[in-house]
Amino acid sequence: MNSKQPLAERMRPKTFDDYVGQEHLTGKEAILRKVIERGNIPSMILWGPPGVGKTTLATIISNTLNRPFHTLSAINSGVKDVREVISRVGKAGMFGGNAVLFIDEIHRFSKSQQDSLLGAVEKGVITLIGATTENPSFEVIPALLSRSQVYVLNAFTKEHMRRLIAQVMERDEYFKLKKIEVLEEEALFRLSGGDGRKLLNVFELVVESAEAEHVQITNDMVNEAVQSNLTAYDKGGELHYDIISAYIKSIRGSDPNAALYYLARMIEGGEDPKFIARRLLISASEDIGNANPTALVMANNAFTAVERIGWPEGRIVLAQATVYLASSAKSNASYAAIGMAQSVVKETGNLSVPLHLRNAPTKLMKDLGYGKEYNYSHANAGNFAAQEYLPEELKGTKFYEPGDNAREKNLRQFLKEKWGGKYGY
C-alpha cells in the first residue's frame, strides 16, 4: 500500500463536477467557469491559502482547454526555464500559439524572473496562470499584475471537508474497500485548518495507522496518529510558528549559531524566503533599534536582495543578515516607546494639537492663531528651540527611554543637553 500515490494526489479532481469548494469561481453559473468552458481565458493569478485547489483548478483548465499547456514551479525553476518554454511555444508557430503557462508559487519568483514573462504575455504568445499563497499586490510585479485577472480562492469550510472525506470513501479504490466511520471530526478539521490537501494527508495517515478493515475515527485516534508521525517541518502548521519564534529569539539573545540552525530548518523545510526576510526587518527595529541603526539598513537590503536574486542563492543573503543581527548590540527602547505612546493615545483620545504647531494655509486659520509663535528650530543656535510640542495635557511625558548601550548613551546625553531636566534624561 505504501507504493501507491498519496491519497491527495489520487483524489485530485479532473473536472469541475468533481471539484470541491470555490463555488463563486467554479459553480455552474460562475463567470470563471463559463470563461474556461468557452476556451478564451485571460492571464490570471489564483490567490488563496495552501490546499484549496489552485493547482487543481489549473489542471482542470488544462483538461478543458484544447490548447498547449506548460507547467513550471517557481521553487525549482528560473529565467532559463521560462525562456525555454517561451522559445518552444514560439518555434511551434501556429501549432504552439495561444499556449498556457502555469507557474505554481509565482510569488517565489524574483522581480527579474517575473520580468522575463512580460514580453510573451503582452504579445499573447502565452496566457499566464500563476498560483500564489501571498497577496499578489505585494508579490507580483505591477506590470504583470495589470495584465492579469486576480481570482481569490477561500479556505475550505467544514462542509467542504466533509464532502472531501465522503468522496474518498465513495471513490478511492483502496479506501472504499474499508469500512470507515468518522465518529468525531473536530481533530481532523482542526489539524487541516481549511487545507484540503492536509486533510486528506491526515485522513490517510489515521486510516493506515489503524491497520484494520473497520476503522472508527475519533479525536484521540487522530491526535495520536499525527503526534507519532510529525513531519520535520510544516510551514503551515504549529511547528512553523515554533521555528520562527526560536529563530527570532535566538537573534534577540545574540546567538548567531542557534539563529543559523533555525534558519537552516526553515530553508530545508521550504519556507518562503520573503517571510524570513520580513521577520528580519521587524527584529532589526524591535530588538536592535538605535543600539545599531545599521541593522535596519542591512535587513532592508537583505529583503531587496532576496527579491532580486531569488532562491537558492537568497539563503546566503539571509545567513549574512542573520549573523549580523544576532551579533549586534540590542535595544527595544523604540519598540517600548511606541507601545507606551499608543496606550496613552487610547486613554486620552484626540487631544488638541498646540496652536503654534498647526499649519495655517488660509487667512482664517492665521486669524485664529494657527502657527503663531512657532519658533523655527533652524533659526536658532544648534538648530534647536526649547518649545512645547506635546498637547497641554501631556507636557513632560516621556515615552522614549534610551537603552543601556553605547549609541543610545550618546542619544541620552544629546537629549539631556537639549531638554535639561524636562524629560528626566
232 within a domain of the structure (yes/no): no
Instruction: Tell me: pLDDT of 49 over 70.
Output: yes
Q: Are residues 54 and 114 in the same domain?
A: yes
Query: Could you tell me if 33 and 107 lie in one domain?
Result: yes
Alpha carbon distance 356, 396 (integer Å): 17
Query: What is the pLDDT, as a whole number, of residue 233?
Result: 43
Specify if 42 maps to a domain: yes
Percent of the chain whose pLDDT exceeds 90: 16
Per-residue pLDDT, averaged over 341-355, amounts to 87
Residue 93 has a pLDDT of 54
pTM for the model stands at: 0.55
Do 183 and 169 contact (CB within 8 A), yes or no? Answer: no
Q: Using a pLDDT cut of 70, give the percent of the chain over it.
A: 94
pLDDT of 317 reads 93
Q: Is residue 338 part of a domain?
A: no
Could you say which of 184, 199, 227 is where a domain stops?
227
**For residue range 353-404, what is the model confidence (pLDDT) as tens digits?**
888 888 888 888 888 888 888 888 888 888 888 888 889 889 888 898 898 8
| pLDDT at 234 > cutoff 60 | no
The more confidently predicted of residues 76 and 113 is 113
For residue 288, what is the DSSP state? I
pLDDT at 319 over 90: yes
* 15 part of a folded domain: no
Q: Which triple of cell numbers denotes residue 93?
A: 508557430
When pLDDT is cut at 50, 70 and 90, the band that residue 3 belongs to is very low
Number of domains within the chain = 4
CATH code for the domain of 193: 1.10.8.60
End position of a domain, from candidates 326, 360, 394: 326
Q: Which residues pair with 99 in a beta bridge?
A: 126
Residue 165 and residue 130 in one domain: no
pLDDT above 70 (res 92) = no
Q: Note whether 33 and 99 are same-domain residues.
A: yes
* 289 part of a folded domain: yes
167 and 249 fall within a common domain: no
CATH number of domain containing 36: 3.40.50.300
Residue 424 domain-assigned (yes or no)? no
Domain match, 37 and 139 both: yes
Instruction: Give the end of a domain, one of 96, 128, 152.
Output: 152
Q: Is residue 9 part of a domain?
A: no
Distance of alpha carbon 382 from alpha carbon 128, whole angstroms: 59
Residue that wins the pLDDT comparison between 107 and 299: 299
> Residue 356 sits in which domain range?
348-419
Give yes or no: residues 33 and 145 share one domain: yes
Residue 322 maps to which CATH number? 1.20.272.10
DSSP symbols for 304-350: HHHHHH-TTTHHHHHHHHHHHHHTS----HHHHHHHHHHHHHHHH-S
Q: Are residues 169 and 248 in the same domain?
A: no
Residues 374, 277 share a domain: no
Shared-domain flag, residues 194 and 257: no
Residue pLDDT, tens place only, 168-180: 888 888 887 788 8
- What is the reported pLDDT for 91? 67
Residue 230: pLDDT above 60?
no
Q: Hey, how many other C-beta atoms are within 10 angstroms of the C-beta on 307?
A: 20
- Look at residue 335 and tell me whether its pLDDT is greater than 70: yes
Q: What is the mean pLDDT of residues 113-127?
A: 84
Q: Please give the grid coordinates belonging to residue 375.
A: 519658533
Determine the pLDDT at residue 94: 46
Query: How far is Cα 209 from Cα 422, in angstroms, rounded to an integer?
Result: 69
193 domain residue, yes or no: yes
What confidence tens digit (pLDDT) does each residue in 295-310 have?
999 999 999 999 888 7
In this structure, is the dihedral angle defined by the CA atoms of residues 242, 277, 271 and 145, taken in order, positive or negative? Answer: positive
User: 179 and 295 share a domain?
Assistant: no
Q: Are residues 48 and 142 in the same domain?
A: yes
DSSP one-letter code for 420: T
Residue that wins the pLDDT comparison between 141 and 98: 141
